[in-house]
Structure 1
Amino acid sequence: MKVVVAGATGAIGRPLVAALRRSGHLVYALTRGGRGTELVRALGATPVVANVLDREALLRAADGLAADAVIHELTAYKHSPPTHYRSPGLRRTNTLRDIGSRHLVEFAKAVGASRYLTQSLILGYGLRDHGPEPVTELASFGRPQGDANDPFLAALHAAEDQAWQSGIEGIALRYGLFYGPGASATFTRALRLRMLPLPSSGTGSMGFIHIDDAAAATVAALDNGRAGQAYNIVDEEPVTWDAMLDAMAAAIGVRRPLRVPPRLLRLTTPLVTAQMLDLSIRVSNAKATSELGWKPAIPTYREGVRTLIS
């Protein structure tokens, strides 16, 4: 296939382009130009210069271009994941998931694409305790909670809605939290500097996915995913933040994170703290493994953190 990737130089974009090329796909990559053009070419993709938030420029970039699929992996987390609800990166990412998705669907139609895949997140099930039962794709998604998380949840819901209403084969990939080489740089740097404390009261469970497995699942969804479907892309075992970050610290040879009172974390990093304390979720990947012909090559964080060793 000829595939256009939006977000090709991001955390998942780089391994995704490599995985697409290994599978024999011809990859184009949207970039705003400048150094991005060089980075895209270094990945082995053909640059398409346009800003997805500029509808007219994006549609002009579609002139003369033909593609079979478009994959939306754009975020604005340039340096690190957001820690606060007022983070500019979070607000811009919400815009990319809402308005950017709308423009990308138009672009997909303009280039003649028959498939449109969008990045989503298991966090869209809600930042709360989901209990001990596995959460499947049938659970409510992107619904308001009546708190500061609502714009984030609404943006995830909007991204998926754009895929479903696109008029072409739309698929949403609800990824767990990425980790692995290139995807864990913020975590490992903070762990080395002792700047990633954890709440002293313990944390909830989360679904993680190694970045290489996330890329492989995306290629599998491109080839085998059913139109109008969402897929949970997580590994085989939920893990608490405590266990995950302690394991990362051990893998890179530094001390385990400090533990501090939760109230202090809520003041300084409220968004991350909400994910650590308010959210506990056990997500099922059964639908993805049965329908996509995909299975995590790295089944749990225990094997995955070893890839962080330099």
Structure 2
Amino acid sequence: MQIFVTGASGFVGGAATRRLVADGHSVSAMSRSAGSDLKIEALGAQPVRCDLEDVTAAHLDSADVVIHAAAFVEPWGPKDAWDRLNVGGTRRMLAAAKAAGVRRFVHIGTEAAIVHGQHVHMADETVPLSLDSPYPYCRTKALAEQAVRQANDPAASFETVVLRPRFIWGPGDQTILPMIKAMAASGQWSWFDHGRAVTSTTHVENLVEAIVLALDSGRGGEAYFILDDGERSMHEMISGMAASVGVALPERSLPGWLGHAIGAVLEGTWRTLRLKGAPPLTRHAAMVMSRDCTLIGDKARREMGYVPRISVEEGLAALRNQG
């Protein structure tokens, strides 16, 4: 099968590309730089020089399936970055895919698409998208998912499927574990509400398994939560990840509401004074760390045949062995 991947030089896209190549598929991938070319070639895929703002049908060549894993996931950036890349970039990818005769478009979404700051308890895919979330990442991922699902067009032989992981972790993580290590090393680490928030999680290899299934399964126009078995507290999960690299996190804690207020002040200061770099805390980070987010993954099991390949315990043990 001919497959085109976006985000192949990143965490999820890279893991998916490695598996797809190993499974014998012919994979090409969006590449924005010479450095990305090298990473993509090392995975066994063919780099195609384009980005989310200039991609066309010609770049996709004869692809049967697009795996759209690229997104602006940074906690901080230019005000228009989330809209420009997450929404505009996804719409551009959809247009290019449809024009290129792609038959299936697999979008890597997120549970953030239903979040506007609330606790989420045992939610399934019937919970509405949060199209007006106060958090730019959540809002733009909701809008991107809406565009993907609305683009489903069986009459034109174009199917779209959305996979929604939560708290992606595992080997190759470029976000959570590096952030934990950096904050611990600088003495900036603090829990919110003592890490009591309970969360669903998604090991990257479990997400990759779902991506492989989504090449042929899953109903067009539908979204699916892709999850590990069970739920854990933030304290249990993050402490376990930190311990895997020999880091013991302090027990210092702030109330969640205070963390959110501090994040808002810092964001305002950084915007007003046009300070370089990212503020040490954002509203989004404080919200994620202090809100429960437990989800139901029955739909993916029922309609896609998805079953987690790796348990949380196995995943943490593997991280410890690599460390």
**TM-score scaled by length of structure 1:** 0.86
SS at match of 1:159: helix
Is contact 2:181-2:247 (8 Å) kept? no
Kindly tell me: are residues 221 and 169 of structure 1, through their superposed partners in 2, closer, same or farther at Cα, counting changes over 3 Å? same
Match of 1:238 among 231, 234, 255: 231
Distance 1:257 1:191 in 2: 11
Backbone CA RMSD of aligned residues: 2.2
SS at match of 2:14: helix
Is contact 1:191-1:257 (8 Å) kept? no
Aligned amino acid, residue 310 of structure 2: I
Per the TM alignment, residue 280 of structure 1 is displaced from its structure 2 partner at its CA by: 1.2
Partner of 1:61: 59
SS at match of 2:71: coil
Is contact 2:72-2:86 (8 Å) kept? no
Partner of 2:145: 160
Partner of 1:303: 314
Aligned amino acid, residue 235 of structure 1: D
Partner of 1:142: 130
> Are 2:283 and 1:270 equivalent residues in the alignment?
yes
Aligned amino acid, residue 146 of structure 2: D
> Are 2:67 and 1:71 equivalent residues in the alignment?
yes
Per the TM alignment, residue 23 of structure 1 is displaced from its structure 2 partner at its CA by: 2.4
Match of 2:213 among 220, 231, 234: 220
Kindly tell me: are residues 91 and 12 of structure 1, through their superposed partners in 2, closer, same or farther at Cα, counting changes over 3 Å? farther
Deviations 1:210-239 (A, max 9, x none): 111111111111221221110101111122
Kindly tell me: are residues 273 and 206 of structure 1, through their superposed partners in 2, closer, same or farther at Cα, counting changes over 3 Å? same
> Are 2:168 and 1:178 equivalent residues in the alignment?
yes
Is contact 2:119-2:293 (8 Å) kept? yes
Partner of 1:282: 294
Is contact 1:191-1:249 (8 Å) kept? no
Per the TM alignment, residue 75 of structure 1 is displaced from its structure 2 partner at its CA by: 2.2
Partner of 2:30: 30
Partner of 2:268: none
Partner of 1:40: 40
Is contact 1:187-1:196 (8 Å) kept? no
Aligned amino acid, residue 108 of structure 2: Q
Is contact 2:242-2:249 (8 Å) kept? yes
Kindly tell me: are residues 296 and 94 of structure 1, through their superposed partners in 2, closer, same or farther at Cα, counting changes over 3 Å? farther
Deviations 1:123-155 (A, max 9, x none): 222131134xx211111122435xx32x33331
Aligned amino acid, residue 163 of structure 1: V
Aligned amino acid, residue 265 of structure 1: G
Partner of 1:4: 4
Kindly tell me: are residues 53 and 212 of structure 1, through their superposed partners in 2, closer, same or farther at Cα, counting changes over 3 Å? same
Partner of 2:275: none
Is contact 2:190-2:251 (8 Å) kept? yes
Aligned amino acid, residue 153 of structure 1: C
Distance 1:216 1:257 in 2: 35
User: 1:39-118 alignment to 2 at 5 Å?
Assistant: 39-54=39-54, 58-62=56-60, 65-77=61-73, 81-82=74-75, 87-88=76-77, 92-118=81-107
Moved more, 93-102 or 174-183: 93-102
**TM-score scaled by length of structure 2:** 0.83
Deviations 1:239-279 (A, max 9, x none): 221111122233333223342323663323321111122x2
Q: How many correspondences in the alignment?
A: 292
Per the TM alignment, residue 286 of structure 1 is displaced from its structure 2 partner at its CA by: 1.1
Distance 1:191 1:307 in 2: 23
Distance 2:45 2:306 in 1: 24
Distance 1:91 1:257 in 2: 36
